[in-house]
Structure 1
Amino acid sequence: MPPSRTEDPALWRVRDELLRLDPTGARTAVAIREAFDQAYDGQRTGRWDYSQLHKTEKTHLGTLVEIWLQREFKFADGEDLDYRISGQDVDAKWSRDLYAWEIPPEMYSRGDQIAMVLWANEYSIRWSMGLIRISERVLLPEGKQRDRKRRLNDAGGDSILWIHRSRPMIENTLIHLPDGLMNEISDASSGQKAVNLLFSRVQGHLINRSAILTAAQQVDSAKRVRDARKALARDGVVIFGHYDPHPKMARDLGLPAPTLGRFISARLAEYEVGDSEPFTVIANRRWRLARPDEEVGEAPPLPTQGNE
């Protein structure tokens, strides 16, 4: 069991501060997503999957997560460890496998230090964050590794004070595409056609800016989205972004609402009296999601986004 607030008040103060900064885990989820996407560097490499990374890049992913967390939360540097939170030195430990964190000697040989343990998996679309006070009691014996890193034993796993556990990741759109679709996107004759295909075939799901950059292999994702809107309008497809009133329109239709850097496409049909589906108002007319085999006309023009 993790220590109680009375048994380890310093650990709980760190926990309280992290929850104050990010009560829902949304900010941490963004930092983790940014770290993965930076490692893939899809705009230049075309990569979108953890399995495509080299061994050194996989090792570096943990460092990127630490950097993005510090960037997001403005943690002060620790005196001996990564961060200073609520007056305590805290070391961030990352692993792609739950409970497989590697604890270096400086965490167990200089007094009992606090570790922030983090885990995320692109395929299960889950992540977790917790705190643990490192001591001999929670560690496996030293092995033969030259770096003397050790892992948690069963007592260590049970001692984690979880802050966010098994929370949903911001989904990597490209990993979860239907079989063969990513090959079609990669084989498109231009970056714009690749983005058009992505929004045409992946409707009703949030699509990240990084997925657009990877599909297009070009810099300006905003222009790619604007041009995709024009190209797909003739097929009745709209692309909602994160600026108002687009998120409200998506919610009206029963779709996930786009947040910063995310988009969602949908094929629309004009709403008629007697229709049972939810609707939204665009250009002073009512629109609903089109039925699977329904013939539709041109999509309505959406309110402009940002600097459009």
Structure 2
Amino acid sequence: MAAPASAGKSPCPDRLGLTAGSDRLGLTAHLCGLCGRRPGYRESMPDETASRSDRGRYEVAAWIRGQPKASARFGAVLRDTLDEVLDGPRTGRFDVDRLDQVEKVYLGTKFTILTRAEFTLPPGRRAGCQVAGHEVELLLSLDTTWSVPSGAIGRLCLLVSADDRRATFDVGLVRATPDVLTRPRRSRRELRPGRATANAEWLFRDALLPENALLAMPRADSDAIMGPRSGQQRVNELLRRVQGKLIERKTTLTVAMQHDGMKRCRDARLLLAQEGIVVLGHQNEAPRVAEALGLPVPRKGSLLAVRLIRVPEHAPGRPTVRVGDAHYAVARPGDPVEPAPHIHC
């Protein structure tokens, strides 16, 4: 298979552009400034010699590569798949290691359903879906082990591997021929890891999976956030520990474990003001304040917490914003704690 193009030289058809699956969880710092991708991202180039010998694989691969923002859309589908099965607002879970075996099996079903909806793909007569007129099984793995139904032997399989801790995923195509499969076990076989991955045509490698904010933070922080029994106390701790980056609605609902999780954030404004912490949303003065301080600007459904301190109008080396009759900057470690200004959010 042809070597992947380097991130610096490849074109950018999948520019993420802070859409459904990108910066909604505060990923800007992880993306390449030129193309909006994680440094090291590899979009594999077509292996036309191998692929044309399997006409179906060639046509399916070409169709997927031709979809607008394909890698970003696969990333968003994977994020939604994991989040919906974790069901954080009801369970408080944010780590796939806490799923039981039945739920892990259901991940594949959920991924198939959401992929068909995202790319407007019809269900297959015998496989998960039809792509460019070909029956394709969609196989999702949390590592690099894919289980193939016995009835899918000889069929095209879309191999998807998601790593929520690294926030990356891979997508490839392989035909499930006997030489890449293990011996039957019950009604299923597994793809031989070395042989199957070597024979696969990889469409995306190390592509960006939208960040799982709670999983990405240090364990001590997530334990401190999820420890209190009260939903309000958990949200307060989230806003104390996650500052200067966007916090998305899904994260807030998982922490609150209540249907009114966003209301808990609004209530936190009053509770945290004495600690100098403001909670900015997407309305009224909040976007102006965030932009002036060089912070991410919240969009609808997201918010941003930050501790402020009063400073002179022209404070050297730090952005400032005027609120009322005073100027404020983002507090640094060691700055004294003082009440936050009232910002109409």
In structure 2, C-alpha distance between the alignment counterparts of 1:50 and 1:158, rounded to whole Å: 27
Displacement of 1:135 in angstroms is: 2.3
Contact 1:22 1:28 in 2 (8 A): no
Match of 1:42 among 79, 88, 96: 88
Contact 2:181 2:189 in 1 (8 A): no
Query: Structure 1 regions of 5+ residues with no counterpart?
Result: 304-308
Displacement of 1:127 in angstroms is: 1.5
In structure 1, C-alpha distance between the alignment counterparts of 2:71 and 2:89, rounded to whole Å: 27
Match of 1:130 among 172, 186, 202: 172
**Partner residue of 1:306?**
none
**Partner residue of 2:126?**
80
In structure 2, C-alpha distance between the alignment counterparts of 1:163 and 1:245, rounded to whole Å: 44
Moved more, 226-235 or 29-38: 226-235
Match of 1:117 among 159, 178, 189: 159
In structure 2, C-alpha distance between the alignment counterparts of 1:89 and 1:245, rounded to whole Å: 52
**Partner residue of 1:140?**
181
Displacement of 1:94 in angstroms is: 0.7
**Partner residue of 2:317?**
276
1:293 aligned counterpart, secondary structure = coil
Match of 2:149 among 104, 118, 121: 104
1:196 aligned counterpart, secondary structure = helix
> Matched residue pairs, number?
297
AA matched with 1:85? V
**Partner residue of 1:229?**
269
Query: Structure 2 regions of 5+ residues with no counterpart?
Result: 2-45
Contact 2:137 2:158 in 1 (8 A): yes
2:189 aligned counterpart, secondary structure = coil
In structure 1, C-alpha distance between the alignment counterparts of 2:118 and 2:284, rounded to whole Å: 24
Do residues 28 (structure 1) and 74 (structure 2) align?
yes
**Partner residue of 2:204?**
164
AA matched with 2:205? R
Over the aligned positions, Cα root-mean-square deviation in angstroms equals 3.1
**Partner residue of 2:343?**
301
1:294 aligned counterpart, secondary structure = coil
Moved more, 196-205 or 147-156: 147-156
Do residues 209 (structure 1) and 249 (structure 2) align?
yes
Change (3 A) 1:126 1:276: same
- Deviations 1:210-247, CA, capped at 9 Å, x for gaps: 32222212112332222223433443323344679967
AA matched with 2:165? Y
Moved more, 267-276 or 113-122: 267-276
2:148 aligned counterpart, secondary structure = coil
Displacement of 1:300 in angstroms is: 4.8
In structure 1, C-alpha distance between the alignment counterparts of 2:210 and 2:286, rounded to whole Å: 19
In structure 1, C-alpha distance between the alignment counterparts of 2:58 and 2:334, rounded to whole Å: 56
Displacement of 1:34 in angstroms is: 1.8
In structure 2, C-alpha distance between the alignment counterparts of 1:257 and 1:38, rounded to whole Å: 26
In structure 1, C-alpha distance between the alignment counterparts of 2:73 and 2:274, rounded to whole Å: 37
Change (3 A) 1:33 1:294: same
1:130 aligned counterpart, secondary structure = strand
Displacement of 1:195 in angstroms is: 0.6
Displacement of 1:101 in angstroms is: 0.9
In structure 2, C-alpha distance between the alignment counterparts of 1:224 and 1:103, rounded to whole Å: 45
Moved more, 250-259 or 173-182: 250-259
1:163 aligned counterpart, secondary structure = strand
